[in-house]
């Protein structure tokens, strides 16, 4: 069993990297890769850089060079709903793009041609995630939407909410990672810690929240240890 873990920036993966034993470091396509073990699980952690293209590149490298059985995207996201607060965790039941529009050709808003509208997380991994988090509060399961912008504008926030009323958080990588995994038939799930409220103060909130990634680290490690 090989688990691939993808984060966009160092802060999102550093605590997990500190748990690796037998660690080896590589650089491919300017992505920094750490290989090792957490418990009995072989883990490959990759820092891709920010945004959909960087995430797609890193995911492709991960799959082609390391052949993971599962890909887990971890990182930060902005809350889209009032009841999900900073430091809360959201696990993807599905992901979708908020910035894709090919409706002129009969596709739904957010849908890439010849792809599903939503990229769904595998039920067996969701069951493990729910088991791993059942004793924890402030963990939510639902839709994550992605696009190539950091959202810190209330008008853009409201526009995303109106188009995707079921979305819980917004990020810049998870759907791109899910799309690549879909193309390679690799199961994929995203775990996000809320860093901000995607409003006009989001950049300030993000800089404060990024200093404490413990909630994301603990849940991710618990899920890894429950995978058999």
Catalytic residue among 11, 171, 196, 205: 196
Question: Residues with Cβ < 8 Å from 130, sequence gap 6 or more?
Answer: 141
Res. 181: pLDDT tops 90: yes
pLDDT of residue 151: 97
Per DSSP, 108 falls in state P
What distance in Å separates the CA atoms of residue 31 and residue 57, rounded to the nearest whole number? 9
By CB atoms closer than 10 A (0-12, 13-18, 19+), residue 148 is middle
Nearest CA to 191 among 228, 225, 224?
A: 224
Catalytic residue among 11, 12, 171, 205: 12
Res. 134: pLDDT tops 90: no
Res. 135: pLDDT tops 80: no
pLDDT per position as a tens digit, 65-100: 999 999 999 999 999 999 999 999 999 999 999 999
Both tokens of 26, joined, read 């590589």
Q: Which of 57-66, 178-187, 206-215 has the lowest mean pLDDT?
A: 206-215
By CB atoms closer than 10 A (0-12, 13-18, 19+), residue 218 is middle
Both tokens of 119, joined, read 């990229």
Q: Which of 19-28, 78-87, 125-134, 169-178 has the lowest mean pLDDT?
A: 125-134
pLDDT of residue 137: 81
What distance in Å separates the CA atoms of residue 44 and residue 67, rounded to the nearest whole number? 10
136 an active-site residue?
Answer: no
User: What is the bridge-based pairing of β-strands 2-7 and 31-38?
Assistant: unpaired
196 an active-site residue?
Answer: yes
Q: Which of 73-87, 172-186, 210-224 has the lowest mean pLDDT?
A: 210-224
Strands (E), the chain: 2-7, 21-28, 31-38, 41-47, 70-79, 89-97, 119-120, 139-146, 167-171, 188-196
What distance in Å separates the CA atoms of residue 15 and residue 191, rounded to the nearest whole number? 15
pLDDT of residue 136: 75
The answer to whether 151 and 170 have CB atoms below 8 angstroms apart is yes
Domains (range + CATH), the chain:
2-220 (3.40.50.1580)
Res. 133: pLDDT tops 90: no
What distance in Å separates the CA atoms of residue 83 and residue 94, rounded to the nearest whole number? 19
User: How far is the CA of 71 from the CAs of 11, 117, 175, in angstroms?
Assistant: 19, 20, 12
């Amino acid at each position: 069993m090989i688990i691939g873990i993808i984060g966009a920036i160092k802060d999102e993966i550093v605590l997990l990297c500190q748990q690796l034993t037998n660690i080896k470091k590589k650089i491919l396509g300017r992505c920094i890769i750490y290989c090792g073990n957490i418990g009995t699980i072989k883990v490959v952690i990759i820092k891709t850089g920010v945004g959909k293209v960087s995430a797609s590149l890193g995911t492709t490298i991960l799959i082609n060079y390391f052949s993971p059985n599962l890909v887990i995207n971890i990182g930060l996201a902005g809350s889209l709903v009032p009841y999900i607060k900073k430091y809360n965790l959201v696990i993807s039941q599905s992901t979708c793009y908020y910035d894709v529009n090919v409706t002129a050709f009969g596709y739904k808003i957010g849908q890439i041609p010849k792809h599903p509208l939503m990229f769904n997380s595998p039920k067996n991994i969701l069951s493990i995630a729910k088991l791993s988090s059942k004793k924890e509060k402030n963990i939510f399961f639902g839709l994550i939407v992605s696009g190539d912008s950091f959202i810190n504008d209330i008008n853009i926030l409201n526009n995303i909410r109106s188009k995707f009323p079921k979305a819980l958080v917004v990020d810049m990588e998870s759907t791109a990672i899910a799309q690549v995994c879909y193309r390679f038939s690799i199961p994929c799930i995203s775990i996000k810690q809320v860093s901000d409220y995607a409003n006009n103060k989001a950049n300030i909130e993000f800089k404060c929240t990024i200093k404490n990634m413990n909630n994301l680290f603990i849940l991710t490690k618990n899920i890894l240890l429950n995978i058999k």
